[in-house]
Structure 1
Amino acid sequence: MIKKKYLSALSLIILSSFLLVGCTASTKSLKILKEEEIKNEVEYESRNFNLTDYQLKIYEEYADTENEQLLEDLSPMDIFKLFYHAFKINDYENLYGLYIKGEKYGTPSRKDFLESIEKKDIMKLSLLRCLEYNIKNLAQIKYDKNTSYIQVNFKEDNKLTKRENWNFKLIKNSYGIWKLEWLPLN
């Protein structure tokens, strides 16, 4: 009984933590493409959430310089792993930097984002460990040449969510760099 209450509370906290970083469920439909433009192909799957030495080096350089060119050759999966790493270590400046900017995307200003997220105090590290335990794998799914999704697939017996997966949308910005959409969880 206590374990069930703990899991329910933990699930609520985890979902709340993703809401803090701009994740929400969405009923928005995908844009309509001509049949030949739709890819929806799994390009890459991974169970590894950790950054490689190369990715960590890029992350650290990006954190020091905010040089967007460092991100130019990275795949959507690479960008998502940088995003996840920033979330995991509470690096909200870089977390914000990995979102696509522009009025049409609804991304708040850096100041508003940082004020909002820093007011929240939750047990992220234990939640992330629990979340990682319940994830079966990550899949990079190409939708079209400028849109990709990172699909977080949960284990069938997970107790965190009733959904089988969460989808984080990434969009290429005008410089050809993959960025997360502000409300990335669809």
Structure 2
Amino acid sequence: MNKKIVIICTIGILLFGILGYFIGRNFDRVVVVESMLAKVTPLPSAAVTASPIPTAQPTTTTPPPSLEPTPIPTNSPAEPKKSEGFFNLKSDIDAIGSETYYHFLATADHSYEVLETKDDQALINFNGLKGWIPAWYIKKDLDEPKVITVKPYIRIVGENATIWTYPGALASNAFRAGKVVQVYKEFEEWVCVNFINYAEPNYGDFWVLKKDLIPWDPKKAREGNLKTGASTKYADLQENDRIQINNESDDTYEVNAAGGVTEVIYKADFIPNPFINTPLSTSSSLMVIDNLELSAKQEKTYANYALNRSDTRLKGLSAADIFKFYLAATFKQDQETLFSLRIKGEGYITPTHESFLKDLKTDPTSAEKSIALWKELKQNNSFVVQENYMEDNHAVVFIIPMNKAEQIKIFHLFINKAGIWKISWMALE
């Protein structure tokens, strides 16, 4: 009994100790909290008084112009440059192709879109055909003085004559005394001249001041032609070669000719004036070929020509007509007519008829390849033709891609001795 009492008392003492331990821990926490609250400065009563919540009133406010919201920029591509408008030209002028490997004559009878102006040059556009010309030729004011085209006449350079690409341009070169020029345009105190270039063809206009030229005098001319029949005397000169005098002795001239040729000739074999029997070459206007299919009249002419392929049926047809005949023969797989439309003769590389037929047998798929090529070109390009391109017997068809990333292609035609347009053998480039 006594043992039970002792055990119970011992358990009670342990429980009381444990309870006291936990009460002590909680008391310490209360003291710490109270000591922290004692350090907080009480706020004035006004600061904690609840303010009434204002009633929301509908209002309309217009921000001042300077505070208008700025639109968020997008990543849309930049707009292309706007053209400067459509203008006529003061006169015809050679335009150097925007891709540099071709040129065309921009004629005054057309209106051209001016795409941009850079320094003194303007980029013009005709149905996708683009080229650079001096901006001076753009006629922006109807009251501007006109360039007058005149019947060509011959003049001689008196002293050295400065050359300009257009009136008022920076001087580019000079003619020597005795140079023979052919005047064909006039503008105020200036004249535009044609001249013989013995190194390369002339592109563009060349202007000199009227005062630097003198009337024609054969004794002062330092340029001319080799006399007919005289070429047999000289190894490097051909019949009617144009020549210029470099030096002279008592009875001979040292002359230059095209291709870097230098020769000594008798004075009696020199004929003054290199433009004798040489009319001024003038290109025709650009013409868009709107429809590549043959008209009813052209279809009839083509059918008659295909019967016996007599060139007399092609007389009077334009380069554009012959080009369309070429396309028709291609799609009809009319190989004999295709061969007949090619230009032949000395100086051209057209093969013989036998070689042509042999090549067809060697590559029997060539017809299908040509059809596929021209089918694609017809769908994705526009076509512009110009006759008398660079020279009187040459015409080109510009094949202008709708995809601006692609290059313009050029198709060549030539006039044969009978005055009929024919297709070059390697026509497409």
Other-structure match for 2:403: 156
Alignment of 1:106-121 (within 5 A): 106-118=349-361, 119-121=363-365
The residue identity in structure 2 corresponding to 1:59 is Y
Match of 2:423 among 177, 180, 184: 180
Other-structure match for 2:201: 32
Any conservation in 2 of the 1:149–1:168 contact (CA below 8 Å)?
Answer: yes
Would the alpha carbon gap of residues 52 and 154 (structure 1) be closer, same or farther in structure 2, given more than 3 Å must change? same
Match of 1:63 among 291, 306, 315: 306
The residue identity in structure 2 corresponding to 1:91 is D
Could you state the TM-score of these two structures normalised by the residue count of structure 1? Answer: 0.71
SS at match of 2:398: strand
SS at match of 2:288: strand
- Return structure 1 stretches of 4+ with deviation > 4 angstroms: 33-38, 123-127
The CA RMSD over aligned residues, in Å, is 2.5
Any conservation in 2 of the 1:42–1:142 contact (CA below 8 Å)?
Answer: no
Work out the CA distance in 2 between the residues paired with 1:127 and 1:184.
14
The residue identity in structure 2 corresponding to 1:32 is P
Match of 1:86 among 315, 319, 329: 329
Gaps of 5+ in 1: 1-26
* Per-residue deviation, 1:141: 4.2
Any conservation in 1 of the 2:414–2:421 contact (CA below 8 Å)?
Answer: yes
Indicate the percent of aligned positions where both proteins have the same amino acid.
28
Match of 2:381 among 135, 145, 148: 135
Work out the CA distance in 2 between the residues paired with 1:41 and 1:63.
29
* Per-residue deviation, 1:114: 2.3
Work out the CA distance in 2 between the residues paired with 1:135 and 1:107.
27
Would the alpha carbon gap of residues 104 and 127 (structure 1) be closer, same or farther in structure 2, given more than 3 Å must change? closer
The residue identity in structure 2 corresponding to 1:90 is Q
Larger strand proportion of the pair: 2
* Per-residue deviation, 1:132: 1.4
Larger helix proportion of the pair: 1
Could you state the TM-score of these two structures normalised by the residue count of structure 2? Answer: 0.33
Any conservation in 1 of the 2:381–2:402 contact (CA below 8 Å)?
Answer: yes
The residue identity in structure 2 corresponding to 1:145 is D
Q: Which has the larger radius of gyration?
A: 2
Any conservation in 1 of the 2:411–2:427 contact (CA below 8 Å)?
Answer: yes
CA deviations 1:70-113 (Å, max 9, x no partner) are 10110000001101111111111000111100131011011211
Alignment of 1:2-41 (within 5 A): 32=201, 37=280, 39-41=282-284
SS at match of 2:347: helix
Other-structure match for 1:146: 393
